[in-house]
Structure 1
């Protein structure tokens, strides 16, 4: 963990890995909801990962967490996992394409940066706002290359992903304001536990709690646990801790282009010339945001020190 934490201080490869892993969630949503309901997939996903992490961190390793920290982590889990994923998966199940969902999700940087300036002390510079704006245009162009009339999808279904986007933004700001000090894996365990409770209640209440029987459903669940929860979601909080709201939010702009690439390799979906232009714009927008940090010599805020755990884990993280 120490070596990984040091690598987080500036290696662009980690940012690229985050984009790939974060975008994998949209592909996993498509895989799962093709054979089962969104609630069923999410319920069994979080039951599995929560059981594993809670057992590992709090039983086998014997870690402890204060009640206030548990409350903060549970709240973060409800916003950044439960509401966010329920909205995104629900929209995909209703017929909204993963590309359009990722486009709406990509509005999160503008929302997060604007609110961070109002509520926190992380005001974005003019160059960063230009970068965010260029990135937004790029994402719009990417998706517009594949947009088509879909009369089978209700118009209100396109509003659902906006709820998830706002929920993730709220969780991001709560983390930056509260600055919890729990280790990453402990935080993930509590957040996943809260989400497991949420989706189990929803599943039981809607009659969608039955264990999936299709092999593709379990493939999607395994995919989402390994790549999205333990991979992309964990990296989101680590990067947020070290680099702030604007930086991590700007990376989400690359989610839509990355989703198109995933779709090309997994499903053979063609990438149009228009989409290629949009991808270039996305890269340019992210480059503007990151170059402003380099020009000003912005460095990551140091992690709050704490006594090392028995397993030697030293890297801290303020949330997940």
Structure 2
């Protein structure tokens, strides 16, 4: 395992926790009156402004976009970011949140299958067992055994989120091999922001809504914060920081391993929702969370064997 691999693991793990907490923050913002599509737009545009500004100041000329990269970065921004969020919102409007997350987080399995059957790479059996453990654990977290009424459009949207997330992992890994993570994420966010501005012009938004006070719940009660502060959290700690950390991790540990570690997000999200929103976790869900973490740990042990210098560190070989 390369010496810098622990940094990659830590970066993706921290990003997953931030994404998980962001789900609760976003839900509070939507309960306060922001529509899901408007929140996604504010998230994309606000994050693009922040990160592009930082990237220009830090990177200078290296921020320059090369013509051959435009299509790939646009695809990463629109499919790997804008559509992941949109598909997920459609899915949770028609399915239980846990089930939608379960389907979305089959993305690492899609990555592994792509590497095995399209790229022709060898995949260790231990990685498949890790994937199976993670999916089984997520099934327990989602409580799908209770018998939920499935919606065809919701299932299709959740599947679209999984495919879009897989594109983000695979394409992001390829792009950061030649470009630094900061500028890669800045440009992809810029394309995502432009996409949402075209779909839903910003001037149609009632900006005064951002001044409304939001009463926090659960462990955060009785605090009251302005809505704009929740949106700022979604932009900075829910998007700019975690997405940049994910790309930094991708550069070091590869797409499959990044996807596996990212599977801790639904577990942490369930815990955050329990603490703040009162969405209690059952004993079965706690067991499922433990199984997910066990699967991630199993995947980590599978990645520690030395790899051949001739093979890319994309899937365990």
TM-score by length of structure 2 reads 0.80
* C-alpha displacement of 1:286: 1.2
* C-alpha displacement of 1:110: 0.9
TM-aligned CA distance change 1:246 to 1:47, over 3 Å: closer
Structure 1: runs of 5+ lacking an equivalent = 304-320
- In the alignment, the residues of structure 2 paired with residue 208 and residue 98 of structure 1 have an alpha-carbon distance, to the nearest angstrom, of 29
* C-alpha displacement of 1:274: 0.4
TM-aligned CA distance change 1:13 to 1:55, over 3 Å: closer
Q: How does 1:1-320 map to 2 (within 5 A)?
A: 9=6, 13-34=10-31, 35-58=33-56, 62-63=60-61, 64-92=64-92, 94=93, 96-120=95-119, 122-144=121-143, 149=148, 155-177=152-174, 180-204=177-201, 209-211=205-207, 213-214=209-210, 215=212, 216=214, 217-294=227-304, 296-298=305-307
SS at match of 2:60: coil
- In the alignment, the residues of structure 1 paired with residue 44 and residue 58 of structure 2 have an alpha-carbon distance, to the nearest angstrom, of 19
- In the alignment, the residues of structure 1 paired with residue 72 and residue 273 of structure 2 have an alpha-carbon distance, to the nearest angstrom, of 36
Aligned to 2:224: none
Deviates more, 1:170-179 or 1:256-265: 170-179
- In the alignment, the residues of structure 1 paired with residue 160 and residue 234 of structure 2 have an alpha-carbon distance, to the nearest angstrom, of 21
Structure 2: runs of 5+ lacking an equivalent = 215-226, 313-317
SS at match of 1:165: helix
TM-aligned CA distance change 1:178 to 1:58, over 3 Å: closer
- In the alignment, the residues of structure 1 paired with residue 59 and residue 80 of structure 2 have an alpha-carbon distance, to the nearest angstrom, of 26
- In the alignment, the residues of structure 2 paired with residue 234 and residue 143 of structure 1 have an alpha-carbon distance, to the nearest angstrom, of 28
- In the alignment, the residues of structure 1 paired with residue 272 and residue 308 of structure 2 have an alpha-carbon distance, to the nearest angstrom, of 32
Deviates more, 1:253-262 or 1:16-25: 16-25
* C-alpha displacement of 1:178: 5.2
* C-alpha displacement of 1:126: 0.5
- In the alignment, the residues of structure 1 paired with residue 257 and residue 139 of structure 2 have an alpha-carbon distance, to the nearest angstrom, of 20
Check whether the contact 1:124–1:246 (CA below 8 A) recurs between aligned residues: no
* C-alpha displacement of 1:273: 0.7
TM-score by length of structure 1 reads 0.80
Q: How many residues align?
A: 294
TM-aligned CA distance change 1:284 to 1:263, over 3 Å: same
TM-aligned CA distance change 1:300 to 1:29, over 3 Å: farther
Q: Deviations over 1:63-98 (max 9, x none)?
A: 323222343222211111111111112333x25443
